[in-house]
Amino acid sequence: MAEWWRGSVTYQVYPRSFQDDNGDGIGDLSGITRRLDHIAALGVDAVWLSPFFTSPMLDMGYDVSDYKDVDPSFGTLADFDALVARAHELGLKIIIDQVLNHSSDKHPFFAQSRANRTNDKSDWYIWVDPRPDGTPPCNWLSVFGGPAFTWDARRKQYYLHSFLPQQPDFNYRNPDVVDYMEGVLRFWLDRGVDGFRFDTVNYFYKDALFRHDPADFKVKDQPDGNPYYMQYHIFSKNQPENLGWMERIRRVMDDYDDRATVGEMGEAHHAIRMMGDYTAPGRLHQCYSFEMMGYDYSAAFFRNKITEFFTGAPNGWPMWAFSNHDVVRQVSRWAKHGVSQDALARQAGALLLSFQGSICLWQGEELGQTDTELAFEELTDPQGINFWPEPIGRDNTRTPMVWDGSANGGFTGGNVKPWLPVKAPQLARNVASQQGVAGSVLETYRAMLAFRRGSKALIEGRTQFFDLPEPILGFTRGDDLLCLFNLSPDPVSVDVAGVGALVGPSQAAELAGGQVELGGNGFAFLTATGPVSVK
């Protein structure tokens, strides 16, 4: 189907935390295959698999040591092929992560590169000489703490790592590296994957002169918990050459039928504009950022972000997400805006799924899941460990999927210690207890996904926002659908004209005459019978 990705909904699976089938406490590919029926029953279009490649797992798979094989903790290539086949039987597309900015330091290429300055992989990573005083060439910082340069005594040079010292960055100014990465993409495309999610898509090229990143222009009252966010990263990433690599990726994808790409825009400045740049014609199909993964839950915020994208990038295409494996879960972030946890979870799902663009759902959000409170000794995430206690790490959102109310929530055997704990608050929000229960978060997500899939307005319709006071967000999609949300725990009333009946899922909503009453976290969809006005 041409452009199946446009307006699609993707469900993100974190393989370590979805389903453990071999009883070692770590999720695996065969476990995902067994649970694909749950994903298909939700009504999504695609599954994004976070990394499952061979890795020392210092960054839980985002440190790859073999790009063309499966880590034994997750299974085998045969297990992966079986997963893809079953997904396709169920009508699901499979999108896999590609972590191409950096490898593990255990990758054979890096072992060869660091051996000396003359071998044929010597220029595959970014090596730089020290300044006369022995310090690195510039002030670039690692996202995970400390300088972005580590000294290597064998070469008497520094190598660059945007993340852990064990994650050296590739040198994309070497055409052999680019050729190799194209081969990696073709390897997985030939195995039948339907697309790729590109990690840190704006990081590939760095400033060739290694100029200092300036201080962040945003005024700060006090230092950030992570100093990385005190810089404005105009040289250590976001280079114009990156866009040429996006165009080459698109040419590769165009050699195959019905494939799609999505890029992760890891940027604290101008991210919406950059999403547009990266999805311009001939580049990536879709791009998402962390713009909607913060703590702002105001009508003006959502209105401004969506308007900014479609005004600035009319030929681009966004993928909107409220949560993923790197951030605090949405019900935890926005708790103060909820009349209850369930009401907020239902509204957040309906809100996201009403947006123009493609959508990505993080596993467990369809249950109204919250972050898990973890003690320091329970952490595995290097970011969480390095910056304890703030900013909070990523393990809290990555705890296992909860399938039922048994010990470990059905993720693994009750007598097995899972890689991260399943605690009581999370155990209470499981699939089995919500399955078939009218009004549950799970059934609301299913209803909303079915409504979106069957609505031409929600898939294709343009968005027109109404200028309404907080906390009311109101907009039309296409010519025949009005969407109304009360983003607060307190009831509100909205005067409407030009509308007919309520349609699709709703919450705490009542249409009486020319007025819609919305209770706390209420939402409603209404048919348009003529020119719509809302006030």
State the catalytic residue, choosing from 199, 213, 291, 371.
199
Q: Is residue 430 within 8 Å of 414, Cβ to Cβ?
A: no
Q: How many CA atoms lie within 13 A of 73 on its CB side?
A: 18
Domains of the chain with CATH codes:
9-102+175-451 (3.20.20.80), 463-534 (2.60.40.1180)
pLDDT score recorded for residue 463: 98
Tens digit of pLDDT at every position of the chain (535 positions): 579 999 999 999 999 999 999 999 999 999 999 999 999 999 999 999 999 999 999 999 999 999 999 999 999 999 999 999 999 999 999 999 999 999 999 999 999 999 999 999 999 999 999 999 999 999 999 999 999 999 999 999 999 999 999 999 999 999 999 999 999 999 999 999 999 999 999 999 999 999 999 999 886 788 888 999 999 999 999 999 999 999 999 999 999 999 999 999 999 899 999 999 999 999 999 999 999 999 999 999 999 999 999 999 999 999 999 999 999 999 999 999 999 999 999 999 999 999 999 999 999 999 999 999 999 999 999 999 999 988 788 999 999 999 999 999 999 999 999 999 999 999 999 999 999 999 999 999 999 999 999 999 999 999 999 999 999 999 999 999 999 999 999 999 999 999 999 999 999 999 998 999 999 999 999 999 989 999 9
Six-digit token string for 499? 């509308």
How many C-beta neighbours within 10 Å does residue 144 have? 22
pLDDT score recorded for residue 1: 53
In 279-428, where do the E strands start and end? 286-289, 319-321, 358-362
Q: Is residue 331 within 8 Å of 338, Cβ to Cβ?
A: yes
pLDDT score recorded for residue 390: 85
Core vs surface per residue 226-262: b (16+ CB within 10 A) or e? bebbebbbebbbbbeebbebbebbeebbeeeeebbbb
Q: Is residue 53 within 8 Å of 69, Cβ to Cβ?
A: yes
The region that residue 446 occupies, defined by phi over 0 for left and psi between -120 and 50 for alpha, beta otherwise, is alpha
Q: Is residue 359 within 8 Å of 319, Cβ to Cβ?
A: yes
pLDDT score recorded for residue 2: 75
State the catalytic residue, choosing from 20, 59, 264, 291.
264
Q: Is residue 82 within 8 Å of 32, Cβ to Cβ?
A: no
SS3 of 514-532: the string is: CEEEEEEEEEEEEEEEEEE
SS3 169: strand
CA distance 247 to 279: 10
CA distance 397 to 372: 7
pLDDT score recorded for residue 374: 96
SS3 493: strand
Check residue 215 and report its DSSP letter.
B
**How many helices and strands, by DSSP H and E, does the chain display?**
15, 18
Going by C-alpha positions, the residue among 330, 354, 321 that lies closest to residue 473 is: 354
Q: Residue 360 pairs with which residues in a beta bridge?
A: 10, 321
pLDDT score recorded for residue 114: 98
Q: In the annotation, is 264 catalytic?
A: yes
**CA dist 102 → 60, 105, 110 (Å):** 14, 9, 10
Q: Which residues contact 451 (CB under 8 A, 6 or more apart)?
A: 353, 458, 503, 504, 505, 525
SS3 of 125-138: the string is: ECEECCCCCCCCCC
Q: Which helix (H) or strand (E) holds 12?
A: strand 9-13
CA distance 276 to 332: 29
CA distance 319 to 9: 9
Q: Is residue 411 within 8 Å of 419, Cβ to Cβ?
A: no
Going by C-alpha positions, the residue among 375, 429, 376 that lies closest to residue 400 is: 429
